[in-house]
């Protein structure tokens, strides 16, 4: 039953991405996971088969994937690690699109659909880390050649800058620790 539900959700996301005129992606690393999300423009009445039906908004959004990061230790030199990590980050985003296109019959991704979806990506956003920004540049130059807008997520800087001040206030400290505990409790190994 879970596989059938996953297949239906994947097909709905793929239908949205196929009919989109432009796509904007975002990604964020949180502890051991990478969340890859999207927002795209859609035409009215494109019949996405969403349940329950909702009025046309002009856009749809969703999650392309949640990936577990990790791997074997590397023996590479320090100066090569940043490029390697950024390239691996970019490749993981393309892999998440490939996973959406995998045919249940053949088990293979549809390369034409992957290329078409990548061609519709017009922008991306990631946190301010140099590796994340470099991953956006890799995506724009290798796979998503129509990506024109590379953005830095300024919300990360605001959270980092204000976290200490919020912890000093008892009311906010309680909320922050509750949120961290919920993150740990909801995480999946």
Tens digits of per-residue pLDDT, 76-104? 554 555 568 889 889 989 998 998 888 88
The predicted model scores a pTM of 0.70
Question: How far is residue 23's CA from residue 46's CA, in Å, rounded to a whole number?
Answer: 16
pLDDT tens-digit readout, 12-44: 888 888 888 899 998 887 778 888 888 888 877
Query: In this predicted structure, what is the pLDDT of residue 168?
Result: 54
Residue 97: CB partners within 8 Å, gap ≥ 6? Answer: 17, 64, 114, 117, 118
């Amino acid at each position: 039953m879970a596989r059938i539900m996953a297949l239906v959700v994947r097909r709905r996301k793929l239908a949205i991405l196929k009919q989109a005129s432009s796509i904007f992606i975002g990604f964020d690393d949180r502890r051991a996971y990478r969340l890859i999300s999207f927002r795209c423009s859609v035409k009215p009445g494109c019949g996405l088969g969403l349940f329950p039906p909702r009025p046309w908004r002009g856009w749809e959004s969703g999650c392309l994937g949640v990936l577990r990061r990790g791997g074997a230790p590397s023996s590479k030199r320090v100066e090569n690690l940043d490029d390697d990590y950024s390239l691996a980050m970019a490749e993981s985003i393309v892999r998440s699109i490939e996973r959406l296109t995998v045919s249940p019959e053949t088990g293979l991704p549809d390369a034409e659909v992957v290329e078409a979806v990548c061609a519709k990506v017009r922008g991306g956003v990631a946190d301010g880390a140099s590796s994340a920004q470099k991953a956006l540049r890799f995506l724009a130059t290798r796979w998503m050649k129509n990506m024109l807008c590379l953005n830095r997520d300024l919300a990360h800087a605001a959270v980092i800058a204000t976290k200490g001040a919020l912890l000093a206030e008892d009311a906010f400290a309680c909320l922050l620790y509750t949120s961290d505990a919920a993150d740990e409790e909801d995480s999946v190994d």
